[in-house]
Copies of this chain bind each other. A is one copy, B any other.
Amino acid sequence: MKHFDGSACIYAFAPHMQPIGSVSPGERFTVMTHDCFHEQIQTEGQTLSEIDYDRLNPATGPIFVDNAHPGDLLKITLHDIRVADRGIAIVVPGEGLLGHHVENSMVKIIPINGTHCTYKGLNLPLAPMVGVIGTAPSEASGTWGTASPWMHGGNMDTKDICAGNILYLPVNTEGALLALGDCHAAMGDGELCFTGLEVQAEVELTLELIPGAAQKWPVLETLEAYMVIASGDTVDDALYEASFQAVTMLASCLDMTFEEAYLLASLYVDLKISQVVDPKKTVRAAVPKSVLSETHRASLFRGDNVIPSEKK
């Protein structure tokens, strides 16, 4: 199985990047990912002033996907996320949603043992996920640091980006140029203090292409739902955008008027928080599969079914 060892990584998603290697559609491969600190934190006694902030959120890649062309949709199936045997979480004054209540920095190295981690005497379950995953942004979108989420993906910090689920990202340039990193062994919706349980990991995945079906925002498919993942300057802004996308998706799939789909969404679409602490905030609007027939689902990513972006 092809393996990317993490020796080459990026700190920004740019429209033009030099690929480190390539994969074919349908090929199963593995990627070693760094923790969000690029392993600069090794002991609890370290002070954060020692850290080079230009090396945060490394994403392994970019990986060229053979035959990926602008306008295609990249279908990413996540098979497994194997996390390291310890993770890091930190608290910093001023950081995260409640950072002004924090008086002292705290670095915690948290042991991981199979399916659980241990913190302050508590034995807590793991739920590994990928924090940063994205493709080259469009020229119009420009360059985005790996700390930020946007239409190309990036630091979405969405805990449903986990093994068993499928992520759909836009292809904006030849080869798509996928990169990923910043795995978390556990994270709550919100990522309150601005770190999850930050870990090195090995991610096993397969990429496929859906020609001419690019969406404006990432879409995540779980066992139960299609989730539009949108970001904005505030949670309120992100909720607006994700909601508009979900209602438009329903109207298009079910051949309903906007009003009819809006009503249906009010009864069945769940708005969910991804993270509230990155430079842009991220939410997801979950359209349950139960409202869509097999035929509807098949039409979801047709080439003629592109959902436009909408600003208030």
A interface with B by C-beta (< 8 Å): 89-91, 96-98, 101-104, 106, 108, 119-120, 122, 124-125, 186-197, 234-236, 239-240, 243-244, 247, 254, 256, 258-260, 262-273, 276, 283, 285, 290-291
Closest to A105 in B: B259
Chain B residues contacting A96 (CB-CB under 8 Å) are 262, 266
Report whether A190 and B89 are in contact in the complex, using a CB–CB cutoff of 8 Å.
no
- A241–B55 Cα gap in the complex (Å)? 33
A290 to B126, CA, bound (A): 12
Contact of A189 among B106, B125, B272, B276 (CB under 8 A): B272
- The one of B188, B196, B262 that contacts A192, using a Cβ cutoff of 8 Å: B262
Q: Is the CB of A266 within 8 A of B120?
A: no
Shortest C-beta distance, A188 to chain B (Å), equals: 5
Question: How long is the Cα–Cα vector from A234 to B186 in the complex, in angstroms?
Answer: 28
B122, A291: Cβ atoms closer than 8 Å = yes
Known: A104-B259, A259-B102, A263-B106. A97 touches B239 (CB 8 A): yes
Q: Given the complex of chains A and B, what is the CA–CA distance between A236 and B267 in angstroms? A: 23
B240→A124 contact, CB < 8 A: no
- Given A102-B258, A108-B263, 19 new contacts (CB under 8 A): A89-B263, A90-B263, A91-B263, A96-B262, A102-B259, A104-B259, A106-B259, A119-B264, A120-B254, A186-B267, A188-B269, A188-B270, A190-B271, A190-B285, A192-B271, A194-B266, A195-B263, A235-B239, A239-B273
The number of times this chain is found in the oligomer is 2
Question: Which residues does chain B contribute within 8 Å of A192, judged by CB atoms?
Answer: 243, 247, 262, 265-266, 269, 271
In contact, B188 and A259 (Cβ under 8 angstroms): no
How many whole Å from A281's CB to the nearest CB in chain B? Answer: 8
- Output the least CB separation between A103 and chain B (Å): 7
Contacts of A188 in B (CB 8 A): 265-271
Inter-chain contacts of A244 with B (CB < 8 A): 98, 101
The reply to whether A124 and B267 contact each other, CB–CB distance below 8 Å, is: yes
Contact indicator A191/B239 (Cβ below 8 Å): no
CA distance A119 to B263 in the complex (A): 10
Question: A191 → chain B, closest Cβ, in Å?
Answer: 6
- Name the B residues within 8 Å of A239 (CB-CB): 97, 190, 235, 273, 276
Query: A197–B89 Cα gap in the complex (Å)?
Result: 42
What are the residues of chain B within 8 A of A260 when measuring CB–CB? 106, 120
Q: Which residues of B contact A247 (CB under 8 A)?
A: 98, 192
